[in-house]
Chains A and B, each alone.
Chain A
Amino acid sequence: MLGKLIKYDFKALAKNMFPIYALMIALTFACSLMIRFNLERSFVFGIAMFAWVVSMSSSFAITIWMTVMRFYHGLLKNEGYLSFALPVKTATHILAKAFNALIWAVVEVIALGICALIFAFTVAPLRDLMEAFKYFFTIDADFYLMLLQMALLGALELLAGDCLFFAAFSIAHLFDRHQKLIAGVFVVLMFILRGFLFPPRFSMEFGPGSEFVLLHPLLFIIPLALTIVYSLVTWYILDKKLNLQ
């Protein structure tokens, strides 16, 4: 059932997200071409560049917001009547939404990667690209280990963020009115509380023989623990206090 839920959630989001990514890629291509043909001073380039910067900088926030809205509309609004009529456990619904958020974050990264490649291949001379490509093979393995840790950290933080929104909307669902406002207030409060309890710090530790850099384990444990706590809150409300009206 989990796989089926993820499939239908993915399809629902794809209808909105793919056009956004397609626009982002098209704008990247248009801007790159204009740079390639020295049209940077044209009015059209200014407009296209502005649209490109806006789409690139907001795309991640849009992706997160859309996955959160999928949770809200799919479970707590009219579509929730259908979702909760399915023979599926509440925990499976929550898991599907969380997995979907991760999958769309990966799709977002792929879309950004495509944009970067389009930009590089259109603007830079082929010789420079070949040099850059060769350079990647000379980088120390520590760099890739660091990259892997950062990716894992990013995924965990994203999951914690999404689950915080899920919990916030579930708590707001207990109120009759102003649900989005209540959810927003709860999110802000939880961010403040988190900052107070776990002040952000970026500490590293060297592994055995100081050969590679390890991020502090707490950096992983905190978002993981928060994800579990937020998910339990969401599960409790949706399973024990569900009140679709």
Chain B
Amino acid sequence: METLVCEGLCKDYGSIKALNHVDLSLSEGKIVGLLGPNGSGKTTLIKMASRLLVPSAGKITICGEVPSEKTKAIVSYLPDRNVLPEYMNCDELVQMYQDFFSDFESGRAYEMLGSLDIDPKMPLRKMSKGTREKVQLILTMSRRAKLYLLDEPIAGVDPAARDYILRTIISNYDENATVLISTHLIADVENVLDEAIFLKEGRIILHENADELKEKTGKSIDEYFREVFAC
């Protein structure tokens, strides 16, 4: 079954085309890398799937439904910035996620918080930026969602934490779920990817199986990306 489908999807900001007739289809059970330089439209695409942006033209569907409160119940979204209220602590956030998302598993959240020695009683405003990002990821990955939209999950953290985050993603997503990871730190994620999508100036210029791409080009995805997007 197709988890995410885009047909002729466009998003304009005035005269700037952030997404330009994107056609895309992602099937279930895959970890997909949405790769592209800054400003290529990665975040715009993810925001439209999360219904934080409305398309200028075209269509986007998640499990056959246009984005709505219905799809939000099956999509777990990690934004590219810190969006958790800083006056709350982890206990309150876990409670909040449990209140709103029927697929949220608080046990898993506490397990991950414990493994990172994060005090659930500490307000977010007292945590470092990196720790807040980890909390956000833990909450996102503690859901049993059908589609995970992870926007730059490793951009703001140190290399050691990146490994933890990737391990967290791999070990927590359901095998029938699809994970879409947007990043420009390709070397860090390429080993976990099943598919790679290259996005350039709002257009998809490549969508291939990750292993086949490596075999075909004889290069790592990171090396091939650098070649394609060389300035």
Q: How large is the interface on B (under 10, 10 to 19, 20 to 34, 35 or more residues)?
A: 20 to 34
From B1-9, B82-90, B208-216, the one touching the partner chain is B82-90
A87 to B76, CA, bound (A): 11
Q: How large is the interface on A (under 10, 10 to 19, 20 to 34, 35 or more residues)?
A: 20 to 34
The answer to whether A242 has its CB under 8 Å from any CB of chain B is yes
Q: Which residue of A79, A86, A89, A243 is within 8 Å of B53 (Cβ)? A: A243
Instruction: Check B99–A240 contact: CB distance below 8 A.
Output: no
Q: Per-position contact with A for B83-105: 1 when CB-CB < 8 Å, else 0?
A: 11101000000001001110000
Nearest Cβ on chain A to B199's Cβ, whole angstroms: 18
A40 to B75, CA, bound (A): 63
A12 to B84, CA, bound (A): 12
Across-interface contacts of B73 in A (CB, < 8 A): 87
Instruction: Check A79–B85 contact: CB distance below 8 A.
Output: yes
Instruction: Check A81–B54 contact: CB distance below 8 A.
Output: no
Instruction: Check B84–A4 contact: CB distance below 8 A.
Output: no
**Residues of A211-245 whose CB lies within 8 A of B:** 240-244
Q: Which residue of B54, B75, B83, B99 is within 8 Å of A79 (Cβ)? A: B83
Residue of A at shortest CB range from B102?
A: A87
Instruction: Check B69–A88 contact: CB distance below 8 A.
Output: yes
Across-interface contacts of B47 in A (CB, < 8 A): 244
Instruction: Check A81–B53 contact: CB distance below 8 A.
Output: no
**Residues of A76-131 whose CB lies within 8 A of B:** 78-82, 84-89
A80 to B85, CA, bound (A): 10
Instruction: Check A12–B69 contact: CB distance below 8 A.
Output: no
CB within 8 Å for A12 and B53 given contacts A87-B73, A87-B101, A88-B100 = no
- Scoring A82, A84, A241, A243 by chain B CB atoms within 10 A of each residue's CB, the highest score goes to A82
Instruction: Check A4–B51 contact: CB distance below 8 A.
Output: no
Across-interface contacts of A12 in B (CB, < 8 A): 85, 87
Mostly, the B contact residues are loop
Instruction: Check A242–B83 contact: CB distance below 8 A.
Output: no
Nearest Cβ on chain B to A94's Cβ, whole angstroms: 14
Instruction: Check A242–B51 contact: CB distance below 8 A.
Output: yes
Across-interface contacts of B110 in A (CB, < 8 A): none
Instruction: Check B53–A85 contact: CB distance below 8 A.
Output: no
Q: Per-position contact with A for B123-144: 1 when CB-CB < 8 Å, else 0?
A: 0000000000000000000000
Instruction: Check A244–B52 contact: CB distance below 8 A.
Output: yes
CB within 8 Å for A86 and B100 given contacts A81-B79, A242-B51, A242-B53 = yes
The answer to whether A8 has its CB under 8 Å from any CB of chain B is yes
Instruction: Check B54–A78 contact: CB distance below 8 A.
Output: no
Across-interface contacts of B81 in A (CB, < 8 A): 78, 81
A238 to B101, CA, bound (A): 22
Residue of A at shortest CB range from B52?
A: A244
The answer to whether B50 has its CB under 8 Å from any CB of chain A is yes
Q: Which residue of A80, A85, A244 is within 8 Å of B72 (Cβ)? A: A85
Across-interface contacts of B69 in A (CB, < 8 A): 86-89
Q: Which residue of B79, B83, B100 is within 8 Å of A1 (Cβ)? A: B100
Across-interface contacts of A201 in B (CB, < 8 A): none
Across-interface contacts of B84 in A (CB, < 8 A): 82
A174 to B47, CA, bound (A): 16
A8 to B54, CA, bound (A): 26
Instruction: Check B82–A78 contact: CB distance below 8 A.
Output: yes
Q: Per-position contact with B for A50-79: 1 when CB-CB < 8 Å, else 0?
A: 000000000000000000000000000011
Q: Per-position contact with B for A174-212: 1 when CB-CB < 8 Å, else 0?
A: 000000000000000000000000000000000000000
Instruction: Check A81–B100 contact: CB distance below 8 A.
Output: no
- Scoring B50, B75, B83, B99 by chain A CB atoms within 10 A of each residue's CB, the highest score goes to B83
Nearest Cβ on chain A to B98's Cβ, whole angstroms: 10
Across-interface contacts of A84 in B (CB, < 8 A): 50-52, 72
A242 to B53, CA, bound (A): 6
A189 to B84, CA, bound (A): 34
A80 to B50, CA, bound (A): 12
Instruction: Check A86–B54 contact: CB distance below 8 A.
Output: no
